[in-house]
Amino acid sequence: MKARVRAIFEKLGGGADALLLMNSIDPHLDQSFFYVFDVPSGLFEGSLAIAFPDGELTVMSSPLEEESARQAARADPHVTVEVPNGRAERDALLERLLGTRSTIALNYRELTHEGFLALEKALPGSTWTDASAALRAARMIKDREEIARLKRAAEIASKVAVEIPSLLRPGITELELAAEMEYRMIRGGASGRSFATITAFGAMGAEPHYAPRDRPLTPGSSLVCDFGALYRRYASDITRSFRFGPADPELKAVHEKVLEAQEAALAVLRPGVPGKEPHLAAQRVIDASPWRGRFIHGLGHSVGLAVHDGYGMNALTEEPIEEGMAITVEPGIYLPGKGGVRIEDDIVVTGSGYEFLTTAPREYLEVRA
């Protein structure tokens, strides 16, 4: 992971002697820890990663994942693993590695306050600087290995998206459907879900961040399914919308409009374009339709070690799209009291445009009840 560490220091612009990433307790784990330390398994609660401008990395692991940590270090000659026995030993090691007068870059967005207080005590006299913008910038441009994992994560979720119609039957609840989908992703090679699966039946499809409940599916319901797989720590994110039972002409027309909006966004999506351009292209299509104003969120976000990985595209995004970004394109139309339609795909930005990571067909599916 030497290239990644060096990329971070390049973005830091010479202002730090070392980068220190510190995990707290799950879920307060800094995904940037796994960006610099590519370890296939383990939780790494309380662990630290200390990286230097020359690309060298020391990881302090607990004994709970020592074997995984040592395996990863054997595969990377620039990584040293230490397993300190308790806090005093950890702090002595920190002082040995960093001295007491270094400028140390920390991830202000992820380090807990408790963690920071422990570092202040262990390394008095240090100067702290914020690494979060540099980490965001480095992580935004994916390397070949990251793109391969995102592609696999997207393929696993896409396969399940195709299977959803076969899972629908009267009475299945939102939670049961979510459970089936997650089970199938893990059977397909995922290590888990990339976020809490959204299965929204009927009117609840109008709420983009709905959490499924024990509500049963009834003929004549529309449904929105938004979910993703984790593959070797990388997250995919896909949404498909369906109709169960007798057709609803309005929702069918809404689906066609959302697809048109997604196509309009993709038509302008390429390196160098400000992120607001694809968003506004989609919004213009929807706002020229009978559903004006019903596209109520940003067009998309980057995916990576986190499902919301740093970059976002909305009406105000001046920051340009860059080659190597992996982002979602997810317009939607939401009709309170009736339901919604969202179509979400993951793409990777290439030199001249983009390539799809997700592979599931995007046409509207009316499933016979």
Q: Rounded to the nearest whole angstrom, what is the least distance from the CB of residue 226 to Mn ion in the complex? A: 4
Least distance from C-beta 365 to ligand GLY, angstroms? Answer: 19
CB 271 within 8 A of CB 351: yes
Q: Nearer to Mn ion by C-beta: 155 or 344?
A: 344
Distance in angstroms (rounded) separating the CA atoms of residues 342 and 222 = 12
Q: Is 221 in the site for Mn ion (CB under 5 A)?
A: no
Q: Which is nearer to ligand GLY, 23 or 236 (CB)?
A: 236
150: three-class secondary structure by DSSP: helix
What is the C-alpha to C-alpha distance for residues 224 and 343, in angstroms, rounded to an integer?
9
Tokens encoding 324: 């190597």
Residues 235 and 191: beta-carbon distance below 8 Å: no
| Whether the Cβ atoms of residue 131 and residue 12 lie closer than 8 Å to each other | yes
DSSP secondary-structure letter at 204? G
226 is a contact residue toward Mn ion (CB under 5 A): yes
Residue 104 in contact with residue 125, Cβ under 8 Å? Answer: no
The contact set with ligand GLY (CB under 6 A) reads 195, 226, 237, 301, 330, 344
Question: Least separation, in Å, of the C-beta of 96 and Mn ion?
Answer: 43
Of the listed pieces 24-32, 266-274, 317-325, 328-336, which binds Mn ion according to CB under 5 A?
A: 328-336
Q: Given the complex with ligand GLY, which of 134 and 156 has the nearer CB atom?
A: 156
Which of 62, 199, 328, 358 is the binder for Mn ion (CB under 5 A)?
328
Instruction: Give, as ranges, the residues between 334 and 363 that touch Mn ion (CB under 5 A).
Output: 344
Q: Which does 277 bind (CB under 5 to 8 A by kind): ligand GLY, Mn ion, none?
A: none
277 binds Mn ion (CB under 5 A): no
Spell out the SS3 assignment of 215-276.
CECCCCEEEEEEECEEECCEECCEEEEEEECCCCHHHHHHHHHHHHHHHHHHHHCCCCCECH
How many residues bind to Mn ion according to rule CB under 5 A? Answer: 4
Q: Which is nearer to ligand GLY, 233 or 342 (CB)?
A: 342
Scan for tokens 């990388």, then name that residue.
234
CB of 13 to ligand GLY, least distance (A): 31
Q: Say which entry of ligand GLY, Mn ion, none residue 195 contacts (CB below 5 to 8 A, set by partner kind).
A: ligand GLY
Nearer to Mn ion, 138 or 200 (CB): 200
- Nearest residue to ligand GLY on Cβ basis: 226
CA-CA distance, 150 to 128, in Å (whole number)? 33
Distance, C-alpha 31 to centroid of its chain = 10
103-106 and 79-82 strand pairing: unpaired
Query: Minimum Å distance from CB 76 to Mn ion?
Result: 31
Closest contact distance (angstroms) between CB of 301 and ligand GLY is: 6
Judged by the rule CB under 5 A, the positions of this chain that interact with Mn ion are 226, 237, 328, 344
